[in-house]
Amino acid sequence: MKIKFALAFLLLSLAFISCDDAKKKDNENETVDVNQTETETNRQEEIDYLAFPDDARVFFKNLEDGQEVTSPVKVEMGVEGIALDPAGDLIENSGHHHIIINGEYFELGETIPMDETNLHYGGAQTEAELDLEPGKYTLTMQYANGYHQSYGKRLSAQINISVVE
């Protein structure tokens, strides 16, 4: 009788341990799902803040492709269909200008570096003066959100200019 009782107790204990392990695994899976959901939500928020209206555009107001200019080069930056706001806050459908000297547009979501060829106008400026030596230049205007994340090719404009003495 004692052996049957001990055997029954052992089987019940093993069953309890198996159930407890299964619950732990379920809880672990739930944690992974929650983390995946949070990550997906964060990605979606980033994508939402990089969305902009179809009719939005940026353009050079005072310069044309192929134009000859003297230094300092005055650049008037235009934007339509999306708000112009200073850098620092992430505001939906909003951004500010950057000028890239002798470079291409930045892909959607790429952070624009700040250096001598990637100029930031995070104060929501719409005009700039560029001190350029005589020569040929490509100027790319790139719009980006408050965190300097590029809106991509669709919110960029590019021209070639020649700076003469």
Residue 10 binned pLDDT confidence (cut-offs 50, 70, 90): very low
CATH number at residue 100: 2.60.40.10
pTM (2 decimals)? 0.71
Q: Do 106 and 41 have their domain in common?
A: no
Which domain-ending residue is among 9, 28, 49?
Answer: 49
Position 2 pLDDT exceeds 60: no
Q: Do 68 and 116 have their domain in common?
A: yes
Structural domain that includes position 38: 1-49
pLDDT at 36: 54
Residue 35 binned pLDDT confidence (cut-offs 50, 70, 90): low
For residues 51 and 63, give the distance between their C-alpha atoms in angstroms, rounded to a whole number. Answer: 28
Residue 76 dihedral angles phi and psi, to the nearest 5°: -105, 120
